[in-house]
């Protein structure tokens, strides 16, 4: 009788801990060597997204993002087969908030292709209750 080992699972706990501790190195460990990450936002719009290739470029992007004085929270994560989707919220000390929605393909438990869409507060007069009156 032959048994086949299950493929390595994606580590959602490491994702949560990396995001919430702002640990770029821990997050980088979740990416395959040949991974690609696309970021879409107000300045890098869908027709011209920011695209980074490989662990070195992804590591630089993560170091920049998690090296800032920001609070990060993993709001939700969904793992199904070889796909993961997650929602992250961020807050700067001045109250500016960022919401990032990501979906990724996995291979051997690591991210190989990720697309993230981020939205930033654009009006500093907004607070938790909505626009200033």
Place of tokens 């994702």: 15
pLDDT in tens, 4-24: 666 689 999 999 999 999 999
Distance CA 116, CA 100 (A): 6
Average pLDDT over residues 29-36: 98
pLDDT surpasses 90 at 125: no
pLDDT in tens, 46-86: 999 999 999 999 999 999 999 999 999 999 999 999 999 99
Contacts of 50 (CB under 8 A, 6+ apart): 38, 39, 40, 44
Structure tokens at 72: 């990060």
């Amino acid at each position: 009788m032959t048994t086949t080992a299950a493929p390595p699972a994606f580590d959602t706990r490491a994702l949560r801990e990396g995001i919430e501790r702002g640990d770029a190195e821990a997050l980088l460990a979740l990416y395959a060597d040949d991974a690609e990450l696309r970021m879409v936002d107000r300045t890098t719009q869908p027709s011209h997204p920011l695209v980074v290739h490989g662990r070195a470029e992804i590591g630089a992007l993560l170091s920049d993002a998690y090296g800032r004085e920001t609070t990060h929270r993993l709001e939700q994560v969904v793992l199904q087969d070889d796909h993961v989707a997650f929602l992250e919220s961020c807050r700067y000390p001045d109250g500016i908030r960022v919401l990032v929605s990501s979906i990724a393909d996995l291979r051997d438990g690591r991210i190989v292709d990720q697309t993230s869409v981020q939205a930033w507060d654009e009006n500093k007069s907004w607070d938790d209750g909505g626009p200033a009156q």
